């Protein structure tokens, strides 16, 4: 598609009313979904936030509510379950779905079934109608304000923003302004943040001010992605499968839980993980593109989407054969050796942090506890790991992480993959497990309480593993 076609397509979809957009989406035209999302997402987030008070603000995430509402809407809309009679019906429908999701969450977090404003949660249509479609006068005022904001942007930001609004993709903009794509993303992010601060002050300031006084570079744009499915949720955050808008390309988006977004140490650790991983480019490490920010100010990390399963899920079914486990360890140790060469200790190697895609490729992920040797320091209190896999000197706070820290975890990992259980203490060989004797010998050295008695490098460990094969 050339520049003129792209601009005409962009303008055409943007000018459609809500009834036409829904019909386009139901006809299978994906650009309509993007237009529906972009047209209402900020207002829906603002609506949800207006119904959440300070007591629930840290437990109920308006952005999560809106994402969930959109997922429900698109699932039902694709089945032709919705029919619109009037132009404003799409807004009222989306608002009703979002409020239904919101009140469901509020009911989980409060004994009394009420919202912050004491509204009846069953009266969704009335609540939605309280935030009506903007009048013609309001639209004109918003457009005039938008023109003013764009005019006041620095020349470079204004140039890339206008090119983006006209339908140009980032690579094309990069060539036209003679800047890297990373710089283009940063300029677009800066421009968007300034526009949001002028037009949607209530949407952008709350979380941003409570997260941290430190501002980290986060050039990736939330508007470039569509969240499609929650893949998993842990103690620190959540991972979503997403799609890059305008393409079929998939990505994984990781974010902190709402309760963690106001924890400066958690945010610093999350940002550090993204910054470390953007420096790592290895076939057996999940690639991280970088950081972005949600409309509310929280950070997210964009990673390659791996269509597969983690090793813990496979272990829950049955252990691996010795041959298969050694093959996995070869790939994992290649990745960790590369990370060590870059001055990075993983610190949390376990089956749940190792993925195997549908082609059998093994990839290491989750460097959330990674330690950077290069500057001899790490984020305060962020050294950690998983019980059973963490080296004793780290558990007892006797030492900072070293390559021997990961070697201990690799020994536990190998034994767990083959037997389905953690090594016992004391770690002794049982005569009925004669086929495990060579593996036992390697694992036992890895598990030495004294880090100096373990293999000192990944290369040394790999040589021992090759001898077993």
Whose CA is closest to 57, among 113, 122, 105? 105
240, β-bridge pairs = 230, 253
Rounded Cα distance, 169 and 346, in Å: 36
Whose CA is closest to 84, among 12, 16, 15, 18? 18
Whose CA is closest to 188, among 214, 203, 166, 208? 166
Rounded Cα distance, 287 and 395, in Å: 29
Question: Half-sphere exposure (CA, 13 Å, Cβ side) for 242?
Answer: 25
- The Cα diameter of the chain in Å comes to 85
Beta carbons within 8 Å of 146's beta carbon, 6+ residues apart: 195, 199
Rounded Cα distance, 211 and 290, in Å: 19
Helix runs in 236-359, H state only: 264-277, 311-315, 322-341
Q: Dihedral of the CA atoms 286, 289, 291, 296 (nearest 10)?
A: -100
Whether the CB-CB separation of 367 and 358 falls below 8 Å is answered with no
425 in a labelled binding site: no
Whether the CB-CB separation of 174 and 164 falls below 8 Å is answered with no
Rounded Cα distance, 153 and 165, in Å: 15
Rounded Cα distance, 169 and 164, in Å: 7
CA distances from 2 to 35, 38, 165, 176, 325 (A): 20, 23, 15, 14, 50
Rounded Cα distance, 318 and 68, in Å: 34
The backbone region for 264, taken as left when phi is positive above 0, alpha when psi lies in -120 to 50, beta otherwise, is alpha
466 is written with which tokens?
Answer: 């090759």
364 is written with which tokens?
Answer: 């290491």
Q: Which residues are annotated as a binding site?
A: 254
Q: Which residues are annotated as a binding site for ATP?
A: 254
């Amino acid at each position: 598609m050339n520049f003129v076609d792209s601009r005409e397509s962009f303008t055409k979809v943007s000018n459609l009313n809500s009834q036409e957009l829904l019909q386009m989406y139901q006809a299978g035209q994906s650009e309509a979904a993007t237009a529906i999302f972009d047209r209402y997402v900020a207002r829906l987030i603002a609506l949800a936030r207006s119904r959440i008070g300070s007591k629930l603000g840290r437990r109920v995430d308006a952005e999560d509510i809106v994402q969930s509402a959109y997922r429900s809407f698109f699932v039902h809309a694709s089945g032709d379950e919705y029919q619109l009679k009037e132009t404003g019906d799409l807004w009222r429908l989306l608002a009703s779905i979002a409020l239904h999701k919101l009140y469901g969450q509020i009911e989980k977090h409060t004994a009394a079934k009420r919202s912050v404003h004491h509204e009846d949660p069953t009266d969704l249509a009335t609540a939605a109608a309280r935030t009506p479609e903007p009048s013609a006068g309001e639209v004109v005022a918003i457009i005039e304000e938008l023109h003013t904001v764009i005019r006041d942007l620095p020349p470079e930001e204004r140039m890339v923003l206008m090119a983006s609004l006209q339908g140009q993709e980032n690579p094309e903009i990069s060539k036209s302004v003679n800047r890297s794509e990373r710089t283009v993303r940063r300029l677009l992010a800066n421009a968007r943040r300034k526009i949001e601060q002028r037009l949607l002050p209530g949407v952008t300031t709350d979380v941003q001010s409570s997260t941290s006084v430190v501002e980290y570079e986060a050039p990736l744009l939330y508007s470039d992605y569509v969240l499609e499915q929650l893949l998993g949720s842990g103690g620190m955050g959540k991972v979503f499968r997403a799609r890059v808008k305008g393409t079929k390309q998939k990505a994984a988006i990781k974010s902190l839980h709402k309760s963690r977004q106001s924890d400066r140490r958690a945010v610093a650790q999350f940002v550090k993980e993204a910054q470390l991983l953007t420096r790592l480019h290895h076939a057996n490490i999940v690639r991280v593109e970088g950081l972005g920010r949600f409309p509310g100010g929280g950070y997210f990390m964009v990673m390659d989407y791996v269509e597969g399963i983690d090793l813990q899920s496979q272990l829950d079914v049955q252990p691996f054969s010795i041959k298969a486990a050694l093959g996995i360890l070869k790939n994992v140790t290649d990745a960790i050796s590369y990370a060590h060469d870059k001055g990075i200790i993983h610190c949390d190697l376990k089956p749940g942090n190792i993925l195997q895609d549908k082609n059998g490729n093994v990839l290491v992920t989750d460097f959330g506890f990674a330690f950077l040797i290069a500057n001899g320091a790490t984020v305060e209190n962020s050294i950690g790991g998983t019980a059973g896999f963490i080296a004793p000197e780290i558990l007892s706070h006797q030492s900072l992480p070293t390559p021997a820290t990961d070697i201990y975890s690799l020994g536990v990992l190998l034994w767990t993959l083959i037997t389905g259980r953690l090594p016992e203490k004391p770690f002794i060989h049982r005569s009925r497990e004669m086929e495990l004797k060579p593996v036992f010998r390697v694992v036992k050295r890895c598990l030495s309480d004294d880090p100096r008695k373990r293999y000192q490098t990944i290369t040394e460990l790999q040589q021992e593993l090759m001898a077993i094969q």
